[in-house]
Chains A and B, each alone.
Chain A
Amino acid sequence: MIEVTGSLKRRLAVWLLVTVTGLGALLMVEAWMSTHRAAERAYDSQLEAAALTIAEAVQWQQGEPLVEVPAAALQILATRHQERVFYAVLDADGEAVSTNLPFAIEPAWREQVTSAPMALTTRLDGAAWRLYGREYDSAGWVSQEPVQIWVGHTRGGRVALADELFERTLTRFVAMVLLAGVLMALALRVALGPMRRLRRQLRHRDADDMRPLDARVPEEMRELAQTLDHLFARQRQSREELLRFTADASHQLKTPLAGLQSTSELALQSEDPADWQAALTAVHEGAGRTSRLAGQLLSLARLRHLGEADAVAPLDLAAVLRETVLEWAGREVARHHDLGLAELPDGPLWVCAEGWAIRELLGNLIDNALRYTPPGSVITLGVAVHGDEAVLFVEDDGPGVPADTRERLLQPFERGGRQDTDGSGLGLAIVDSIARGLGGRLTLGTCKPHGLVVRLHLPLCDPKETP
């Protein structure tokens, strides 16, 4: 089920837009403030220069400060923006020695300027002014009192400069964002290139081509490519298994069928009805074996292709075991063996499994035990609880199986080197398939002093938890 949840490009674009807008807003606020600061600083230095020029012109005559305002100071004050200008020279009492506009310098400002030069923005006469005040010590023959020089101008130039600087910053920022956006789009295209190449490669792949991928991918896509390779490998393996199984099955069926053919041919060449009788008996038995073989193959194939677990209900393993053993004990084939049940735990043992699967599994295990043990052997079935697992076991006191061949027993058509029985070698393979299907596992072990024990480990489940 493929669900498309938005486009990567759009998501990236949205993220870019959100971050750029957020950061941009902050940046622009900062830029606005800093451009205004810069403009104030630039023009304040002109106020300082003008104040200094006026201070240079202050002289003392008969104990009175006298100032011939230098024209240059006024031009510095006016700047190239042709500001309205203000100047005032105040004596120690705050009286204007010389001034051009009737602005009153507040006593608080005068007080502040005695300690340090000060610049301030204020509204006077219906216009915004920037004023700068500074106190100068002066030496005269009669008096040595300090004078305060105040200069000021309107703020047109400052606003214009700040606006110009800010506009330039803004233009640069917008250009940068646009450029970054374009580059981002290009980078995205380049970055998604390997993805497109991989897609093309997969699309052009033959249906039965299970070779590993041959593609150059960036680090971020290595995992995806490896997973794909792994998937291909598993598919290849399962395909090979299937082919091998089919070949093995055909081979297994060919042998009894060839036997049937030769028996019936021999019988057809004979004139003796007794031979016919013997041949027919042989053919009958052979057909029975073949049919059973075909049945087992069918059931194995069915188990292998069992889809995802159907709805399974909790099942009492002990009850099924008891039932199955009782059924088998009554059969003809079990006549020569001692088929018994070990002591079962009290109460039910719940596992999640289908009843037919457990019965099939038990049947195969019992059948195997009967087939591969000499008559008179003791076969014991039982179930126990180990932690959160139910362990079902089938043990016999037969010859047992050497450790090195034990694992191979689970493969189809494997008979543990025994050619003396008419078994097909499919029983344990079927059991193994069922065990896997139920989410359990199969282990093989030996009994003392001799004999084989097959254990099926199944997870326990809560009977109330019906999925």
Chain B
Amino acid sequence: MTRWRVGLHLVLLAMLLAGAAPLHAASTPLVVEAALDREVVAPLLDAFRAAHPDIALDFRDRSTLEVDARIGEADPAPDVVISSAMPWQMARVNQGYARRLDSPAARRWPAWAKWRDEVFGFTFEPIVMAYRLDLSRHMAPPQTHADLYTLLTTEPGKLEGKVTGYSPFKSGVGYTLYQQDARYTPRFWDLVAGMGRVNAQLEGSTRAMLEGLSEGRYWLGYNLLGSYAMLWAQQHPEVIVQVPRDYALVMMRMAFIHRDAPHPVAAEAFVNFLLGREGQRVLAGQTTLFSVRPDIVGPYTAARLRDQVGERLFPIPLSASLLAFVDPQRRAAFLARWRREFRRAE
């Protein structure tokens, strides 16, 4: 299995080097611009290639901001766009960049996880805290947001420089998560102030936070993408993943077919695969991205996560309210306050 995957990667690499020259003369190219770690999503891509050997999939893994820029600027436009920066994806759809998908899989897709039948949230990724095993030697690891706040206020000395979180300035996902947190409780700002008090280190990606935890630079991480953290924890036993027990945000990767997709048929095949039983089964069984569909069985499904965590999962709603997060003035005001609160202690 692993060898097979490596082989495919080599093929992909060869294709990229050859200027995306098609493997077979008859194959259709398909360009997917995604803010989604290749490592996490690889089983899904492999399954798609196996199911559609006639489509030459070109999966380009980039940061959310790069992906967003490619939507408007790339020429030719990408076929499919996947990103975890939900407000930006929503803004692009509102600008009319998405093409409507009319297929059985799209129609069956739950209404709360799609918008206008144009953009689909196809994963169900809980936002988690992660801590290093060392932490438990010094203090009780936090299980809720309140626990975290208590630790930040009671143990500022021990935690000085050992806490990490997203930088809302550098990461769209991090900004979105903080915005969503702030909608639920005004005490969120106390938490930000607490992070500022212990001089929390702000990273641009979950991967950087996880690497810091494994290296021992950080003891505690807040608001990590569960999908990456769980996969990391499987390979790095020193990292423990904690789904908050008071409430856990859930983020969805949003995928849409570009309005100007050069290969719309292949693009539809890809998105239908993402939403279809087969793709979702791979998500549920072989990735930590979690399947949205209630009829899929596997270790990583929304239903199973609900069973484990209870009804405390709060998916970021896939609605027009997301558009408010990308309003420049609102964003500027939010970031200004965040900066102010973070430096409150000084």
Q: Which residues of chain B are near A100, meaning CB under 8 Å?
A: 91, 94, 323, 326-327
Does B320 reach chain A (CB closer than 8 Å)? Answer: yes
- Cα distance A74–B325 when bound, in Å? 11
Q: Check: A71 CB closer than 8 A to any chain B CB.
A: yes
Q: Mark B309-330, 1 if CB is under 8 A from A, else 0.
A: 0000000000111111111111
Identity of the chain B residue whose Cβ is nearest the Cβ of A78 in the assembled complex: B320
Residues on the B chain within 8 Å of A77, using CB: 320
CB distance from B14 to the nearest CB of A (A): 40
Q: Which of B95, B320, B325, B326 contacts A75 (CB 8 A)?
A: B320
Q: Find out whether the CB atom of A67 lies under 8 angstroms from the CB atom of B320.
A: no
CB-CB under 8 A from B321, the residues of chain A are 71-72, 74-75
Partner of B116, one of A67, A73, A74, A82: A82
- A125 with B91, Cβ < 8 A, contacts A68-B329, A75-B319, A75-B320 known: no
Which of chain B's residues 299-346 have a Cβ closer than 8 Å to chain A? 319-330, 333
B47 CB to closest chain A CB, in angstroms? 30
Q: Judge whether B333 and A68 touch: CB under 8 Å.
A: yes
CB of B79 to closest CB in A, whole Å: 20
Contact B329 A71 (CB under 8 A): no
In the complex, chain A residues whose CB is within 8 Å of the CB of B325: 71
Given known pairs A126-B96, A127-B96, the reply for A69 and B320 (CB within 8 Å) is: no
Q: Across the interface, do A84 and B94 meet the contact criterion of CB distance under 8 Å?
A: yes
Q: Which residues of B contact A295 (CB under 8 A)?
A: none
Chain B interface mostly helix, strand, loop or mixed? helix
What's the Cα separation between A172 and B25 when bound, in Å?
A: 59
- Give the residue name and chain of the B residue nearest to A65 (CB): B329
Number of B residues, CB within 8 Å of A: 21
Q: Shortest Cβ distance from B16 into chain A, in angstroms?
A: 34
B59 close to A (CB within 8 Å): no
Contacts of A74 in B (CB 8 A): 320-321, 323-324
Query: Given A70-B324, A74-B321, A82-B115, are A101 and B329 neighbors across the interface (CB < 8 Å)?
Result: no
Near B by CB (< 8 A), chain A positions 415-454 give: none
Annotate A74-91 by CB proximity to B: 1 below 8 A, 0 otherwise: 110110001011000000
Give the distance to chain A from B232, nearest Cβ to Cβ, in Å: 33
Q: Are A98 and B320 in contact (CB under 8 A)?
A: no
Task: Please measure, in the bound complex, the distance between the C-alpha atom of A289 and the C-alpha atom of B115, giving whole angstroms.
Answer: 122
Contacts of A82 in B (CB 8 A): 115-116, 320
In whole angstroms, how far apart are the Cα atoms of A85 and B326 in the complex?
A: 13
Contact partner of B329 among A67, A126, A127, CB < 8 A?
A67
With A71-B321, A71-B324 already in contact, the answer to whether A98 and B94 are too (CB < 8 A) is no
Question: Hey, which chain A residues are within 8 Å of B93, CB to CB?
Answer: 84
How distant is the Cα of A125 from the Cα of B115 in the complex, in angstroms? Answer: 19
- Whether A66 pairs with B96 at a CB distance below 8 angstroms is no
Query: Quick check: is A97 within 8 A (CB to CB) of the other chain?
Result: yes
How far in angstroms is the closest Cβ of chain A from B179?
9
Residue picked from B94, B95, B320, most chain A C-beta under 10 Å: B320
Contact (Cβ within 8 A) A69 B95: no
Closest Cβ neighbor of B334 among chain A residues? A68
A84, B117: Cα distance in complex, Å: 12
Query: Whole-angstrom distance between the alpha carbons of A73 and B330 in the complex?
Result: 14
Distance of B95 from chain A, by nearest CB (Å): 6
Closest to B320 in A: A78
**Nearest Cβ on chain B to A455's Cβ, whole angstroms:** 103
Given A67-B329, A100-B91: A85 in contact with B96 (beta carbons within 8 A): no
Known A-B contacts A74-B323, A85-B320, A100-B91; the reply to A125 vs B96 at CB < 8 A is: yes
A69 touches B327 (CB 8 A): yes
CA distance A66 to B333 in the complex (A): 9
CB pair B323–A66 under 8 Å, yes or no, is no
The residues in A between 90 and 127 inclusive whose CB is less than 8 angstroms from any CB of B are 97-98, 100-101, 125-127
Contacts of B323 in A (CB 8 A): 69, 71, 74, 85, 100
Bound Cα distance A100, B94 (Å): 9
Shortest Cβ gap from A83 to chain B (Å): 8
Q: Which A residues lie within 8 Å of B326 (CB)?
A: 100
Since A68-B330, A68-B333, A82-B320 are in contact, a sample of 11 more A-B pairs with Cβ atoms closer than 8 Å, ordered by chain A residue number, is A68-B324, A69-B324, A71-B183, A71-B322, A84-B94, A84-B116, A85-B94, A97-B329, A98-B328, A100-B323, A126-B96
The 5 closest A-B CB pairs, nearest first, are A71-B321, A78-B320, A71-B324, A74-B320, A69-B327
Residues of A bordering B, CB below 8 Å? 66-75, 77-78, 82, 84-85, 97-98, 100-101, 125-127
- A and B contact pairs by CB, cutoff 8 A, 22 listed: A68-B333, A69-B323, A69-B329, A70-B324, A71-B320, A71-B322, A74-B323, A78-B319, A82-B115, A82-B320, A84-B95, A84-B96, A84-B116, A85-B323, A97-B329, A98-B327, A100-B94, A100-B326, A100-B327, A101-B94, A101-B95, A126-B96
